[in-house]
Amino acid sequence: MGLLRADLVALTNLPATAAGRRVAIGMLLGLGLLALLWWSVAQAMVRNPQLLGVLDRTSGGDALRALLGIGLMPCVIAASWLGLSLAQRQLFETPELLLWRTAPLPGWRAAMQVLLRACFLTLLWAGALSVPFVATVLARSPAGWLAWLLVPIAVLCCTVPLLAALLAVQIVLVRFFAGRVLRFVLALVAALASVGFTTWLLLGLFAPESTRLQMVASVPGGTDRLPWTIETAATLLAHAANGRLDTDALRAALGWLGLAVSLFWFAAKLHARAVEKHMEAQAPLLRRRRSRWPSGIAANVRRKEIAQVLQQPGALIGFLVFAVLVFALARERVLVAGMLADTRLPRELAHPAAMAVLWFLAVLLVLYAHMGRLALWDGPQWSLYAASPAAPRTILRGKLTAVSVFLLWPLLLVAAAGAHLFGAGLVSVASFAGIAVGGTFAALGVLAMVGTSPRLMRPDDGGHIVQGGRSFVAALLLVLLFQLAMTPAMYGWLQLGAHLRTHRIGPELVRQWAPWVVAAALLHGVLVFAVGVAFGARNFRRLMAPRVN
């Protein structure tokens, strides 16, 4: 019980420090916002008679159980995401692992502690995503106190067995098959899980009503299509909502929980040896000959940032998975279907405009991650930066140069997707590339302005910038300022739409105006970049200045 007590004490002591308060407030604020958004989705669904009719037909007249199954589905998705991405690193790379292995503890105890931590985090996410939906459905049914008391058991049934099974499988795989290939496979699966969860969350929250109807129709309440944990929990809650305790479903839920924990306990006995095998397989996937480092400070910083990505298989796989996501969005014509189908727009205009919209969406998905390279992820190196004779502006220039290289990836992906899936010609792709380069300059200016703000990125006494409430505010501010930077393009598109109501635009006119539009985009991007770098250099100098208590 000592390890469990230590984790509980650490949680209760979070409000005692400034860093802990930032972590707690940021987590609660983010989960609360997700719970509020998911509650609004539930309200819209249960008040939609068309959707309820579809559910009633597909579920054989048991729409209540079907709705509860849909509400509990995020539990399985959150468990899969955390079990394949975050918890996998906790099993073999958690900072306390060395202490646990040298302490007089049973060999399985460290793995059980990781399972408890993963269950706690998963239940937070599952509660934020599922409980508002389930509560909304139960509130509109004749549910009594029995149904509300069984909600925690239902959430546990939908999360813990799957999470324990995923962690147990990873322990067994690393124990017997540890090596470079397995590291690559696990990193690929983790990246796919992270991108898949983010995509599902965005589509679930912001999908139009027609798309939501199709999703509901394809996931009916039939027992042969629901996952077994969801089917058991939904049946338990549906019967309890009608005033009857389904003892068979309750025994099945508790039995699956006990069986999953028991099987994980057997797998946990292999954890100690699995950790050793994991440490033996830490050699880099790719080796290359050593070369001389450049002498310039900005070039050194740029090369350091790029090397951090190239030496991490998970980061490289994340870039590949992001490419798959961009092509999937282009294939489904997300946000651009109406634009490409508009007969008033010539192809030379519709294609660059559609690719520009997809580029904007793709950059929004990675903007916060690249902002972290400026200050958020470099807290341990602040003492080195502060002691170096380099000017803060030079260090910032090296970081921005590296980020600009990474931001070319969305541009190349969208250009390739536009040429392959939309049939865009060379002139259309070139026009889009010029506009996107200007947008990339604007994105870099916004990153430099927000990512170095002392009020949002100030390191603590230990030199670390904690990802808490301030980083959440920084993410919101980053998206807002980037959208404001793109306002001229949005205004120009609205004016073009008004012009098309009374005039017709031909391909010749588009080719004539294309160089001027590209020049305007480049000029606007350079101006935003210059302003952002000016503010960023001032902020970066303040970040590295000695702190006065």
Please report the pLDDT score of residue 393 as a whole number: 83
Q: Which residue has the higher pLDDT, 107 or 383?
A: 107
Q: pLDDT tens digit string along 230-239? A: 888 888 888 8
Q: How confident is the model at residue 221 (pLDDT cuts 50, 70, 90)?
A: very low
Q: Tokens in use for 75?
A: 């539990």
What's the CA gap between 90 and 274, in Å, rounded?
Answer: 13
Range in 14-23, 125-134, 273-282, 367-376 with the lowest mean pLDDT: 14-23
Do 81 and 197 contact (CB within 8 A), yes or no? yes
What's the pLDDT band for 461 if we cut at 50, 70, 90? low
As a whole number of angstroms, the distance between CA 238 and CA 147 comes to 8
Higher-confidence residue of 10 and 440: namely 440
If one compares 179 and 132, the residue with the highest pLDDT of the two is: 132
* Segment among 187-201, 323-337, 441-455 with least mean pLDDT: 187-201
Mean pLDDT of all residues in 87-107: 74
- Is the pLDDT confidence value at 184 over 80? no
Q: How confident is the model at residue 549 (pLDDT cuts 50, 70, 90)?
A: very low
Q: Please tell me which residue, 130 or 383, carries the higher pLDDT value.
A: 130
Single-letter amino acid, residue 269: K
248 or 463, which is more confident? Answer: 248
Residue 223: the pLDDT is: 40
Asked if residues 473 and 429 have their Cβ atoms less than 8 Å apart, the reply is no
What pLDDT is recorded for position 415? 92
**pLDDT given at position 442:** 94
Task: Say what the pLDDT of residue 375 is.
Answer: 76
pLDDT tens across 359-416, in order? 998 898 888 888 878 877 776 666 677 777 777 888 888 888 989 989 999 999 999 9
Report which listed range, 291-295, 432-436, 474-478, is most confident. 432-436
* Crossing angle (nearest 10°) for helices 109-139 and 271-280: 100
Residue 287 CB neighbours (<10 A)? 6
Contact 126, 74 (CB under 8 A): yes
Is the pLDDT assigned to residue 41 strictly greater than 80?
A: no
Q: What is the mean pLDDT of residues 49-63?
A: 61
Supply the pLDDT for residue 455: 78
Tell me, what's the pLDDT at 222?
44
Q: What is the pLDDT of residue 220?
A: 43
Enumerate the H helices of 140-270 as residue ranges: 145-177, 180-206, 209-218, 228-241, 247-268
Answer for the pair 339, 357: CB distance below 8 angstroms, yes or no: yes
Residue 127 near residue 155 (C-beta atoms within 8 A): yes
Q: Specify the pLDDT at position 53.
A: 65
pLDDT tier at 436, thresholds 50, 70, 90: very high
How far is 471 from 183, CA to CA, in rounded Å? 30
Mean pLDDT of the region 76-94:
80
Identify the pLDDT of residue 139: 83
* Mean pLDDT, range 279-307, rounded to an integer: 64
pLDDT at 360: 92
What integer pLDDT is reported at residue 268 of this predicted model?
Answer: 85
User: Above 70 in pLDDT, residue 508?
Assistant: yes
Structure-block tokens of residue 145: 């106190």
**pLDDT at residue 29 greater than cutoff 80:** no
The whole-angstrom separation of Cα 209 and Cα 51 is: 9
Question: For residue 285, what pLDDT is reported?
Answer: 47
Phi–psi pair at 206, nearest 5 degrees: -120, 10
Q: Which of 11, 90, 64, 74 is nearest to 39 (CA)?
A: 74
Phi-psi region of 61 (alpha: psi -120 to 50; beta: other; left: phi over 0): left
Question: What's the confidence (pLDDT) of residue 34?
Answer: 76
pLDDT for the residue 246: 83
In the chain, what percentage of residues exceed pLDDT 70?
80
Arithmetic mean of pLDDT, 142-147: 80
Q: Where does the pLDDT of residue 502 fall: very low under 50, low under 70, confident under 90, or very high at 90 and above?
A: confident
- Segment 418-431, tens digit of pLDDT: 998 888 888 899 99
Question: What pLDDT band is residue 520 in, cutting at 50, 70 and 90?
Answer: very high
| Residue 42: both structure tokens together | 């539930």
Contacts of residue 78, defined as CB under 8 A and 6 or more positions apart, other chains included, come to: 122, 125, 126, 129, 159, 197
Is residue 173 over pLDDT 60? yes
User: Band of the pLDDT at 355, cuts 50, 70, 90?
Assistant: very high
Q: The tokens of 455 are what?
A: 């009020």
DSSP symbol at 15? G
Higher pLDDT, 418 or 43: 418
* pLDDT for residue 462: 54
| Mean pLDDT, all residues of the chain | 79
Which is higher by pLDDT, 9 or 289?
Answer: 9
Return the pLDDT at 546: 63
Q: What pTM did the predictor assign? A: 0.61
